Amino acid sequence: MKVEFQNMIHKTINNVILKVGFFVVFLLSICVVFPNFSFAQTTSNQKIVTQGEYAVELAERLGLGENLSMNKAISVLTEVGIVPEGGFKPNGWITLDFLNEIRSLVIAAADKGLIQFSAEQVLVIITEINNELVKAVTFAPPVPAANPPSRSPMQ
């Protein structure tokens, strides 16, 4: 009885080792076949849109100029109070926080009469821009807190 039990345990361990081995070989073969695979990878038709490019599109759609350079677009948006905290970063990533802040600033500019559109109209414009420019964008990861809380062993 003891020998049968030992043989059964030995077979079970061998089966587990064999299955784990096959799994590891499978994963390694995937890595060899697809060496550049990443879950966060953009597809060939995706484009990273910068804050500067977004500013150009926004300024032109708001009727603040045509064929604007990035600097001119940022300048005319700033003149009507549409400038995110810390200013536009022309080569900076677009984040959800950026988009939310811009939306609020554009609505505020419309409410103050600084642009030729109503708040309802600018919401449509912003939605169109976001759908056209940002729908296939890979967003920057959230910025971690500057000073994360320390964890003591007592917590």
Residue 27 sits in the same domain as residue 2: yes
Count up the domains in the chain and report the number: 2
Q: What is the mean pLDDT of residues 59-75?
A: 94
Residue 92 maps to a domain = yes
**CA 125, 53, 77, 93 torsion-angle sign:** positive
Residue 32 maps to a domain = yes
Residue 29 sits in the same domain as residue 75: no
Residue 145 maps to a domain = no
Asked whether residue 37 carries a pLDDT value surpassing 50, the answer given is: no
Residue 120 maps to a domain = yes
Asked whether residue 34 carries a pLDDT value surpassing 80, the answer given is: no
Residue 29 sits in the same domain as residue 88: no
pTM score, two decimals?
0.59
Residue 67 sits in the same domain as residue 117: yes
Domain interval for residue 1: 1-37
pLDDT confidence band for 45 (50 / 70 / 90): low
Residue 15 sits in the same domain as residue 60: no
Average pLDDT along the chain = 76
Percent of the chain scored above 90 by pLDDT?
40
Q: Tokens 């804050």 map to which residue?
A: 51
Backbone phi and psi for residue 50, each to the nearest 5 degrees, phi listed first: -90, 170
